[in-house]
Structure 1
């Protein structure tokens, strides 16, 4: 409403009788304030002015100002607090949370759409359609906007957090705010969450708005925006035009559908959520797992319907789907250990992808280039649940380190004339140790030979011949299907020559060579 400059018609001091009437109106409009706080908001002796103005669309608005700050405005006989008032009384209205990147769109006259709403661990506040609500940013409870709920909380959740959530009336940094002292929001810490809190409807704590599907409606015209920095040629309902993939659209949509489905099961759906409505899986989880620049449209896939796709996933034994009530299907079981293959990336590739993503989406902090602002996708990738409402920025090294730590480690071993072998987990070196046996005798033990394509039996036979010592082959403790070789005496010198010179293994993959006997000593 105040996204553009307004025209002032009059500015007069309020009369004593009008001041008393205003107090009564505020008490009626906001009963939770109480008499004392109403008297504090509208003091008896401090100068209070009434400003009559016309908004840029012609709406007649009455603004009440104390000192230089507007504290209330009246539109069509309804009273609304300004952000200056809400900073003093942050709990005056039910508050919803959004991302900092969304604020600039709200200031420009946009309404807040539900994909941009962050769902806290305690769930959304319970409101009805038409209720007045405050809008705050992640990590700070100080409201930055007020708006009217376009639907009830129940309807919001039933829609899968899609559609318009709030008609925004006034924001921090708009022209009404500029008519005051132009102060910034105070830092008000989010309320602590108790494990026993909330008898409200349970919502997946990991569910939050995804800027890749964010839609904002402006007051001047209705438009769709996928991201504050999205390129203009990104169209709704289609895959990114930047993609160089020559695959047919249907095949691309099939791959995107599988990707969103598996991502949702891994990062958003928990065992406690089952049974889970299939419509909830799609609306609340799969859509928000869609990558930047792409939009999931099942009708453009080969499956055409979600039910047909889930039938296929049931045949693959990933999920079990049942009709718990007539016409309503739910996922009742998930095979969390089902093998799900993914492409591998080297550390350098991960760094490049993260850096390119941050720069492409203008997430590098303007005031400190060493910091990166976290959008919903990065939050989902690197933050713990307890951090998602308090951490909004990370230094580059912290972001890249967290990304690498949260990825599944893997290694690849290549032998001449064979296909590379890819295995999950960290690459363990060949481990050489000395052990003390009876009568102060030492034995050399070597493990993890199989990882590097070496046969423990062949290594044992070679060492037995060269060292003229007995060898024993036995199962390696704590390692499934792995053998260890034990040679009598300290034979690390011979073992090192065998591994380094004949098998040509890099020294960095051998652990324990420093325990070889010193020259001149037995």
Structure 2
């Protein structure tokens, strides 16, 4: 409801008689509130304002503001608490828990789907259709969203946790939250409700203990499906295991970095994330003060890839995934603070980004700087990533975040970032661990291919996509004459005109070079007759092109038997 900016109609102080009526309405809507809590929420003498506004869809909303923060809002005669209120009273509403990456979707205006829920040890809270509920993130009881249940708990379970579960009305980071002091959710410890028998070692079926990597004391999650239970008997590649052993699992490289270095990394990470997710060409020129707010929003979020899309094996196309994995996660509770970085000021940081030719900043008016251009194709990392480098990044990430299963070194625990990157939605509740070989295989499948061609005495040429082999085909022309067509020679640095001249001389046949139909720049060599025998000798023996990169050599004419 508040995903987009709203229009304020009026803002007035609440009178004494109206305060008493409001206090009675709150008591009726939320019986759990006691007299002291009601007095705190609706004070008798302190400043309390009533703000009437229109949401972006035209809904008339009444908001009550106390102490500079919106504490309640009323829609169609129904009172709802804001996240500011729920941070003071986290147990006011039944709470359902989701993963941190889901929050970004909710802030954008999406409703909460049931596959995004996590199953607590004691089961889901019991609610009925239409009940008001709070939404929290894994590891913290502080609500980050408020929604209305679209079905009862029994119906949720009967559906197999599929479909839309909650209509979200208000979230942390939305425009109603921005109407207050823009503070972040407090860290509220989880209630210790787990039964003693749920604590212990991992078993094939039954309770599973998940450590703090999942950002909370989530214990006793149950493995579901045959795939997960069978994984305990699989053995990962020996190469990955050896690399882990050599790397030293007990070391903590992140701990060697100073707080300022960690803040620099977090700033750079939030900067690129804001550029990717918030800034468009239509936003330019963009005030640096506005951009600072967007960067700050990323600094208040749990580090995650904003969007789960396939990445290229070129590093600058891999930013949403590999940069997120390879970067050092910020310490728990730490938020972006530019003053604590080595840059101290945003202007100094942006001027550094100008030297890197990523953005252009100009002073369009006196004393006010704006970002006027962004180099969207800037190679932020530069070189390519081989399969072995991707494997090293994954292993390093698992090591830094203690994701290797303590009882079975062959398994890696799935944290929210890995879940979001490599698991399908239906798998995020059933697969809690993966063997090393399956994890790396899935990561490689998420990357877009690229290839590198190296010519003697020249710099390697890197291109996106899969390498196209030299394609040799036979075609019929007028009078049932055959011609040989050769395509993709230029991919391997061969000059089609030179190849045509050589084949023309050896085959004693006419040869031409023509554009490939239906393409812009591709060209092909056409030579009369079946010249594959001469072509095979030229490509394999003289140019040393590997046979696996040539298709069609089997169409060479068969030699007849000598009489």
TM-score range relative to shorter protein = 0.5 to 0.7
Picking from 489, 492, 510, the partner of 2:529 is 489
Question: Are the counterparts in 2 of residues 26 and 79 from structure 1 also a CA contact under 8 Å?
Answer: no
Compared CA separation, residues 313 and 285, structure 1 to 2 (3 A): same
Per-residue CA distance 1:41-88 (angstroms, 9 max, x = gap): xxxxxxxxxxxxxxxxxxxxxxxxxxxxxxxxxxxxx9998xxxxxxx
| Residue 283 of structure 1 pairs with residue 296 of structure 2 | yes
Per-residue CA distance 1:325-378 (angstroms, 9 max, x = gap): 999988798664455453222112222331343244331345665543222443
| Residue 237 of structure 1 pairs with residue 259 of structure 2 | yes
Q: Which residue of 2 aligns with 1:140?
A: 119
Q: CA RMSD in A?
A: 5.4
Question: Are the counterparts in 2 of residues 274 and 333 from structure 1 also a CA contact under 8 Å?
Answer: no
Q: How does 1:49-448 map to 2 (within 5 A)?
A: 92-97=93-98, 119=103, 121-123=105-107, 139-140=118-119, 142=123, 147=141, 154=172, 165-168=186-189, 170-173=191-194, 178=196, 233-234=255-256, 237-239=259-261, 253=264, 258=268, 261-262=271-272, 265-266=275-276, 268-269=277-278, 277-285=290-298, 288=303, 289=324, 291-292=327-328, 298-299=338-339, 303-310=343-350, 313=353, 318=358, 336-338=376-378, 340-366=380-406, 371-383=411-423, 392-448=432-488
Q: Structure 1: which 5+ residue stretches go unaligned?
A: 1-23, 32-77, 82-90, 99-115, 126-135, 188-209, 217-227, 241-251
Question: Are the counterparts in 1 of residues 403 and 414 from structure 2 also a CA contact under 8 Å?
Answer: yes
Question: Are the counterparts in 2 of residues 431 and 447 from structure 1 also a CA contact under 8 Å?
Answer: yes
Per-residue CA distance 1:171-225 (angstroms, 9 max, x = gap): 233xxx55xx8699xx9xxxxxxxxxxxxxxxxxxxxxx979x899xxxxxxxxx
Deviation at 1:285, TM superposition (A): 2.7
Compared CA separation, residues 443 and 376, structure 1 to 2 (3 A): same
Deviation at 1:145, TM superposition (A): 8.1
Question: Are the counterparts in 1 of residues 144 and 171 from structure 2 also a CA contact under 8 Å?
Answer: no
Picking from 15, 29, 32, the partner of 1:29 is 32
* Cα distance in 1 for residues equivalent to 2:139 and 2:387: 41
Question: Are the counterparts in 2 of residues 96 and 118 from structure 1 also a CA contact under 8 Å?
Answer: no
Q: How does 1:461-500 map to 2 (within 5 A)?
A: 461-500=501-540
Question: Are the counterparts in 1 of residues 512 and 527 from structure 2 also a CA contact under 8 Å?
Answer: yes
* Cα distance in 2 for residues equivalent to 1:341 and 1:452: 26
Deviation at 1:451, TM superposition (A): 1.8
Question: Are the counterparts in 2 of residues 358 and 364 from structure 1 also a CA contact under 8 Å?
Answer: yes
Per-residue CA distance 1:370-408 (angstroms, 9 max, x = gap): 543222443454356787677654444443233223334
Per-residue CA distance 1:123-147 (angstroms, 9 max, x = gap): 499xxxxxxxxxx996326469885
* Cα distance in 2 for residues equivalent to 1:500 and 1:340: 38
* Cα distance in 2 for residues equivalent to 1:328 and 1:385: 45
Q: Matched residue pairs, number?
A: 363
The two structures have a TM-score, normalised by structure 2, of 0.50
* Cα distance in 1 for residues equivalent to 2:396 and 2:97: 31
* Cα distance in 2 for residues equivalent to 1:497 and 1:230: 56
The two structures have a TM-score, normalised by structure 1, of 0.54
Say which SS state the counterpart of residue 171 (structure 1) adopts.
coil
Q: Which residue of 2 aligns with 1:516?
A: 556
Compared CA separation, residues 327 and 375, structure 1 to 2 (3 A): farther
Q: Structure 2: which 5+ residue stretches go unaligned?
A: 1-26, 35-87, 110-114, 125-137, 146-169, 201-205, 207-211, 218-249, 304-323
* Cα distance in 2 for residues equivalent to 1:390 and 1:293: 25
